Every structure is written in structure tokens, then in C-alpha cells.
Structure 1
């Protein structure tokens, strides 16, 4: 009964969480864009982060303000607070009537000898909400950059561009593409492999690129990407056709990211497309996680229904506890022991009637019986010699079905990234699973290894 109640409660909570997830609208249109590094290595840091807002956010723009992030928040999230040692100045500036920028500045250069990247958490609040985002800013001269999941080529190019002299964004994109052709799926700059190591373009690659070539390359890449997505330039209005903004971005163009000023309509279009790709990847990952969670919930529901049907039909009782299962055996052993003690007492009493009373202990009586076996009847002696009163508690029995249900519950915890609860459930399973089903032990150890691997990353 307790297992059934616990599982039913967990199932209800999981269903409620999924319902809330799909019912709550994604109304938060104020987001933070990709960082633009304006300073060079060994210079005082200066970076700009665009604030993207939608038309529905205009009533709240006047209440936009920086939300300072304390050192304790860095420590809670496991992020290095090294940036706070440089006392960064974080300000919110309005570069256009309806556009804002977060400017991050330090008075002194950031030491990048040991680590060319530095982490910072930026927070923004307004009258009815807030948002925070973690950034890894490139402050040192690096020869290789690792692509993070969901990161676009424009974001990387905007950070590495200050190290490439006077190269503009289009030239930086083409140089990165030429220096790392294997990092792009299908040869498209919009499909960058996560985890790929991008080499920094050298001077010879940059010198071989002209601004016209770079612009033409980017235009062709954008056109190919639109055709691959099945979008038609004729479906847009004349004004949109000039900027070549994808039709899928219509209606939300106001909250798209502007990587840098003065980069032209084509560069802005390219960044729009790359950002759509990143959002699609994140959406696909979320859908996969929801599908896995729904599968685990369905498995839990099947187990609950099967147990409920068995209980109603009286075919399968609930798992017995250790005392319930071994109770009759303990009672039988107890009765046997009592019978043996009574026989022993009767034999001892008969001896006392023939001789003087003796104050010997139970151990003395045992030694006397062994010295004079005729004093104890043979049947009683046989019973006494076969008795073992050192009873050990019966081992606790665990139901394999219950462990499988707990294993599915651990999978559900992993799906919703509650690794602490999943680890606790798996540790409880591993304590007893080897005595019940080796397959459950193997599955539990595999999930534990998956949790450890995710924590390492």
C-alpha cells in the first residue's frame, strides 16, 4: 500500500508539471543576445550585449534596469566569480528609441594567460519580470575555439574579430569557414557542429579574402539556406525582399539579435537565420526530453494499473515485509525451543529428586549431562543437540517489480534533470538489486554513469 500511494502521488505531480509546462505561455519576449567584444586582448574589457524586445514589451521598457548578480549566485551555479575581482561596470544604454544595449567595462585588462575566457552572469529586470544569462567572453588571444551546443558562427566571429585586425564580420565568417571546412555540416555556415574545434584563421587566409568575395559568399549561403527551408523570396513584401529577411521571422523581427552596428542588411539577415537555427535545435532537444518523460510516465501508469488490477482480483498480494514472510518459521522455531527447554527441565528435575539440590548453572547442567548421558532421556538429548537458538534475522525480501518501478522513476528524474533525486533512487536500488535481479543492477549502474558524465560536463 505505501508503494502504491507514493507512485500515485509522483505520477500526479509529473502530470501536473507537464500540463503547466504546456499551458503557461511563453510571454517573455525580453531576451539577451550574443556578446560583441569591442576590446582586444591585453586591453581593458569592453563588451556589448543587445537587449531584444518585442512590440508587446514597449509598456515595460521604461522600467528596464540592470539586476546585479552577487558572488553567492556565482558560487551556487558553480561559475567562477573571477570577473568580480576586476569590478566590472555594467550599464544599460539606449542606442535607439526602442533598442537597448548592456555595456560591460573594466578599468584594467583581464589576465588571460591561464584562461582566455572569463564567465559573467548578466541580469536584467523590469516591472513584471526579469531575465539572467551566463556568458563566456573571449578576452585572450586563442588559436582554437570549441563550439558550444546552440552557438552560431556569427557569435564566434563577433568575439574573435577584434583579434583579426580590420576584418569585418563577413570576412571573419569566410576566414573561419576556410580555416575549418570540416566543422560545417553539408558545407553550410548555418550548420556548425557542436563540440568542433575551430582554428583561428591566420594572416594568409585573411589576406586572400576581399570584402566583395566575403559578401557574395554570405549571400549565397543565406540563399541556399532559405531554399533548403522551402522559403520563397517572392512571398515577402518589397521592403523585406531588400533585406532578404526570412519570412519565418516576420512578426518577431523586432526581438531578433543585432550583432553589431553598420554591418548591413545582409549581415543582419544572416544573423537572423543562424539564430533561428539555434532556436530550432533547442526546441528539438526540448521535444525529445518531453517525449522521453511522457514514455516514462506511461510506463509508471502501466505498472500502477497492473498492480491495481491484481489487487482487485486478489491474484497478487502486495509484497510482504520480512517479518510477515518469515513469521510462521520464527513461531515454529520458538515452539521447538520451548519444547526442548521443558524436556531439559523435566530431566533436571528428576535428577534433583534422587540427589541433593544443586545450584549449578545452565552451563554446569550441560557439562553434567555430557559427563553422564544416562541422566537425560535419549529423545530429549537428541532434541537438545539439534537445537540452534542463535537465530539470525531473516533477510529482507525485495520485489523485482518494485525495483523496476523505482528504476523508471530514476529515469524520469534524469529526464527532468533532477540528478540529486535520481542518484539517491539509484543508490537505494544498487543496495539490494544484486540479490533480486542482476539486470536491474546493470541498468542502475548505467544510469549512474550517465549522471556522473553529465555532472562532469
Structure 2
């Protein structure tokens, strides 16, 4: 049990940027789910895959300081000063961190670094939250995706009319380590951390297995970064000897450097959104959009329609202005949607890696369903 807990923590430390926990062997910060839209007060939840009652009693969670943000390559937004974090027990038995603010979030991308302290140690993790416009939201958007519910969970309902046993999916054993020469196909939503943790030999650390996977399959990773694995790629699984060839300390340093590079890539991509908004404003100020609409109307109107009275011309211009504004809004929405799609995909790759080694987490939380509710208010981080 202790070995599994250490592996789960190692997976989260490798797959995420800015994650460290010197003395933590159980508590881990899971993915964040954003429940609010752009222009609304922040509402989000951070999953805690495993936490003991003793850890819950002493846990104190706050947003990190601006210096900690900069140290991890994250941008500190003024909105973070109003963010509060509370520990909550959900009706289904899960324990989460409730992240909220009392003021609207008006930026499409907001970085967040969380510091968690308890009696036995300390852990930190960074996130990039994506906020969709209200008109684009049909359901709560998740910044990070973790496929915790396998397809096998619904199989009993299809194969037999008898009541399905809920414990079957929870007690499914972890895949046995593969021998040398085996291969695996990367499915959509899978991460290198999850694959490495499922197939690593018993005497090989997760760091070593990830580095061995990367070196054995360089074409399966975009720009050679372990956080950017290609869906559909066929991975050749290294043997125990190949994975052990890289010392554990060296493997950890390699993955830490790759995490910093991946975080810098995400930061640059998120910074492209304000530039797109400025470009849209410049076009509107120059009147280029309206001129294009006027030309299109003129080209599609018969010549005898040009002899309209002054009153009719005014009405036509008013209609054209409305069309121009509508077109501009549609173009802006399309750009935001495309950027949102790109960032959401990157966040899926990054944060799903954080829970790579914590797939048995539901069983851990289910072991204490009768635990009393815990609500630990946390003060907002200093400006």
C-alpha cells in the first residue's frame, strides 16, 4: 500500500508543472474543474484523490504568493487576491477543494498556483483555468480531463438484467507490467504517466519508466516532450533493464526540465488571446469590417436599387451597421472558441498526467464514506 502511494505521488510530480511535496506520501492535488463562465465569479473544484482524516484536520490551503507564481513560470492575475479555498466533503464521499471568488473573472485564461500545508508535509501544484463565454457554455467546462470512469463500468447493465455490482469497476486490478517487446496504442485522453505507471516493472520508478518510454519512442511525442504524447501512436514498452539504465535522480531532473518547457509553451499560447482581442478591436476602430459589409451589399443589390431616397438610405445603413456588428461578434466568438479548444487540449494532456498514478483513488476515498463533513475556510492569498 505504501509503495502504491509513493508511485501515485511520483506520477503527479512528474506530469505537472510546479508540483513538489517533500514529506507527502498520501495527499495529492488532483485536476481542477471550472464550473463558472467568463464574466462570472469563480467557481471551481480541485479533486483530492486520497486524504486521511488526520491530514484533513491539519490541512491549510491558499493560493501561492506572486513570487511562487513567477518561480513556476505562471502569471499572477489581480483576480487571485480574491480567491478563497475551502475543503469540502461531497455527498458521494469524495473530498474536494472548493475554489471561489466574490468578483467576476474577466480574463479567458487565469493561472493558479495552490499551496497546501498540513502536519506531515507540504505540496504545491499549478493550473491554467480556461473560462468560456457564457454563450458557448452548454455544460461546466473542465480544464483538465481525467478518464476515471472506464467503459467497463457500464458493461453489466448491457449484458445482464440483474443489478450491476458497483464494486466491480472500483476493485479492478492495475495492469501487470509488460515484458520487453510488448507495445501499446495510445488512446485519446491517455497520458504518458498513466501508461508508464500501468506497465512499469516493480523495481523501476515512474521517472525511469517515463524517460525510457520517451527514448524508445521519440516519434510518439511532439517536440520530444513527455507531456505531449500523440494519440494513436504505438509505444514500444522498454524492458526493466532498459528502464533502469537511467538513474532515478537523472530521470527526475530530465522530467522536471520538460515540465518547465511545457509550462512555458502553455503560457505563450495563453498570452496569444489578448493579442487576438486587440487585433479585433483595431479592425472595428478602422471601420474595415463595416466597409466590407457595405461592398457586399452593393455587389448583391441590383443597379435600380441605388436610387433610394435619403430616408431609405439611412435605414439601409442602420441595417448594415447591425450586420457588421453581428459579423464582428461572430468572428470574435469563433476565434475564442478555437483558442479555447487548443488550450483545453493542452490542459487535458498536462493535468491528466497529474493523476496518472492515482487511478485507484476512488477506492481510497470510498474506504471512509462515513467520515464527517469537513469545511476548512482558507484566507485569500496576499496581494
Q: Same fold (TM over 0.5)?
A: no
Higher-helix-fraction structure = 1
What is the TM-score normalised by the length of structure 2? 0.37
What is the TM-score normalised by the length of structure 1? 0.32
Tell which structure's C-alpha radius of gyration is larger.
1
